[in-house]
Amino acid sequence: MATTFDFSQWPPSLTDSQLETLTHHATTYALSHGLTYLPPAPTQPSSPSSAIHAPISLLPAPVPRSLFKKTQCLQSVYNMLYARVATNDDFLDREMGAEAGVGKADEFVRTLWKGWKDIRDEGIIQPLHLGLFRSDYLLHTGGGDGTLSVKQVEFNTISSSFGPLSERAAAMHRYLHALTNYYDISPHLKSENFPPNNTTSGLAQGLAEAHEAYGVTGAYILFVVQPDERNVFDQRWLEYELLENHSIRVIRQTFAELSSSAKLDPETCVLRLTIPSAAPNSSTLIEVSTVYFRAGYTPTDFPTEEHFKTRFALERSRAIKCPTIPLQLAGGKKIQEVLSQPGVVETFLSSSDTITNHTTDDAASLRETWMRMWALDTPTPPLPASIPPDAHKAENEPLGTKLARINASSLVLKPQREGGGNNVYKSDIPAFLDTLTAAERQAWIAMELIVPPAGVGGYLVRAGGAGGSAWTSWEKIVRAETVSELGVFGWALFGKEGIVKERGDVGWLMRTKGVESNEGGVAAGFSVLDSVVLVDG
């Protein structure tokens, strides 16, 4: 779509006095409403006594109304697509397995896949999967004719974080508008342009549906968490929502804690945890209905073999997993690339679904959101007209790798990792390619960079002393040229027979970073939490 909104004029100017007032109101609102992190510390205390506000923006980021609506409408299609990918064993074996796929080159993927293969051979106990998904997008101006579109960065199938905090960031901006009217600095800053965001209740509903499908009154939902988690409040808001509005209790444990507390019934594979009881020096067993993984997406979550054994024990259980190992593997960048190949996504959307009612007609809409992608080890990637077909003959490497060298300035290389800080960008690509063996190339894909609108800015605020090494040296507030990434949440409860229940309209996340940063993770210290102001073309 063509847009008449001038992104280069955003944000409108604020005086020093107005900035000071808005910052005061924003940070106190954040602290009052749980838009918070635990402060940096070598280890977090078991009972925290302080918190800092999360990194935030003072003004919401502009998004064209029609493009925002498009991302919301696509989420149910993505829910169904990834449900079908996760239940297609042959496809995942071929693309992610240790025998022919990414697992040949990536030890972490190989270990997960082998564990899942062993469990399949034994017989799957729980046929249902739960996915709490987030599809991430950037605005794209790369058409060359002024046309603006949305392009997908990635699709997240594990630990899709910041739902509850994104809801509170949006509420903070609505509060600032109601309180100050943003000093009438922009006609776009009016209440009807602040879209609703009820992510906490939406995501909790997905967990509650899995719990209900399990069908045991009094069972708990298990949150598997990382040790020394600073982003604990984002998780706690889901816990409170489950207890207060669904009467479901949550227990939080790390893989290390689960290695001693988790027990599988040898006959039924029911998962029970040993926890302290009210009586001194005694314990009790609780049953787990649903396992929600907020850990397990990175190799550092598995420092020992025992951690992997615990992960596989949870997978063997009767509890419903969010995600299962195949659903986690389905979120790999290799899957994203393979789906973009001619005819592949159409195959997965070739039949209708009685719940979502989406078919292959939606494939074109999905493809409109994808940048060009290819595997480094492929001999025949899609070639632009400017690259001769025999370009790879100058070096003894696949054409996919050669094409990445030639186009490095407009590319990002992605491995099969989540959590931020793993990609290789632009000028760093050629030297990095020199370090890869032929086998290692199989674990990487190349993707054309999305080109966001130029000149857009924001006012970014972080708690003093709260940033890690990823933060620049700016102090509490700075006006910077920025890039904003929109994440759209949805969930699906499904099995091989299809989707049981799903929702694609459960909320959204906006993260904003300085243009100098290639990465986008808030928890990793690259971005701030933001929200959306809708603008018309």
441 labelled binding-site residue? no
416 labelled binding-site residue? yes
- 402 near 384, Cβ under 8 Å? no
522 labelled binding-site residue? yes
124 labelled binding-site residue? no
Choose, from 110, 402, 414, 462, the residue flagged as catalytic.
Answer: 414
* 322 vs 132: CA distance, rounded Å: 7
37 labelled binding-site residue? no
292 labelled binding-site residue? no
335 labelled binding-site residue? no
231 labelled binding-site residue? yes
User: Can you say how many angstroms the Cα of residue 472 is from the centroid of all Cα atoms in its chain?
Assistant: 24
419 labelled binding-site residue? yes
| Known catalytic residue at 156 | yes
Query: Hey, is 502 helix, strand or coil?
Result: strand
134 labelled binding-site residue? yes
395 labelled binding-site residue? no
- 489 near 475, Cβ under 8 Å? no
| Known catalytic residue at 122 | no
CA of 171: how far to CAs of 58, 88, 152, 251, in Å?
12, 40, 25, 28
Q: Which DSSP state fits 403?
A: H
531 labelled binding-site residue? no
17 labelled binding-site residue? no
| Known catalytic residue at 365 | no
| Known catalytic residue at 414 | yes
* 261 vs 249: CA distance, rounded Å: 17
295 labelled binding-site residue? yes
Q: In this structure, what are the phi and psi dihedrals at residue 170, rounded to the nearest 5 degrees? A: -65, -40
| Known catalytic residue at 333 | yes
181 labelled binding-site residue? no
156 labelled binding-site residue? yes
Query: Hey, is 328 helix, strand or coil?
Result: helix
332 labelled binding-site residue? no
Choose, from 57, 79, 149, 156, the residue flagged as catalytic.
Answer: 156
- Residue 90: Cβ within 10 Å count: 8
| Known catalytic residue at 507 | no
Cis-peptide, bond into residue 11, ω within 30° of zero: yes
161 labelled binding-site residue? yes
Query: Hey, is 221 helix, strand or coil?
Result: strand
88 labelled binding-site residue? no
Choose, from 272, 311, 333, 462, the residue flagged as catalytic.
Answer: 333
| H-helix or E-strand spanning residue 238 | helix 232-246
Beta strands 220-224 and 283-293 are parallel
235 labelled binding-site residue? yes
296 labelled binding-site residue? yes
Choose, from 110, 131, 151, 154, the residue flagged as catalytic.
Answer: 154
| Known catalytic residue at 418 | yes
Query: Hey, is 108 helix, strand or coil?
Result: helix
The owner of tokens 């984002």 is 234
Amino acid in the structure at residue 33? H
Q: Which segments within 267-346 are labelled E, that is strand?
A: 271-276, 283-293, 320-322
| Known catalytic residue at 186 | no
Choose, from 76, 79, 161, 197, the residue flagged as catalytic.
Answer: 161
* 532 vs 192: CA distance, rounded Å: 11
Choose, from 34, 142, 419, 498, the residue flagged as catalytic.
Answer: 419
Q: What share of the chain is helix, strand, coil (3-state, %, to 5)?
A: 40, 25, 40
* 20 vs 8: CA distance, rounded Å: 23
| H-helix or E-strand spanning residue 62 | strand 61-64
Choose, from 95, 209, 337, 418, the residue flagged as catalytic.
Answer: 418
283 labelled binding-site residue? no
Choose, from 70, 134, 272, 311, the residue flagged as catalytic.
Answer: 134
| Known catalytic residue at 402 | no
198 labelled binding-site residue? no
519 labelled binding-site residue? yes
239 labelled binding-site residue? no
Choose, from 261, 311, 511, 521, the residue flagged as catalytic.
Answer: 511
- 490 near 82, Cβ under 8 Å? no
Q: In this structure, what are the phi and psi dihedrals at residue 307, rounded to the nearest 5 degrees? A: -65, -40
Strands of 411-414's sheet, edge to edge?
A: 373-375, 445-448, 411-414, 424-425
Q: Which residues are catalytic?
A: 134, 154, 156, 161, 333, 414, 418-419, 511
Binding site for Mg(2+): residue ranges?
154, 156, 418
**Residue positions forming the annotated binding site for substrate:** 134, 158-161, 229-231, 235, 294-297, 511, 522-523
Known binding residues for ATP are 154, 333, 414-423, 425, 447-450, 485, 513, 519
Specify binding-site residues.
134, 154, 156, 158-161, 229-231, 235, 294-297, 333, 414-423, 425, 447-450, 485, 511, 513, 519, 522-523
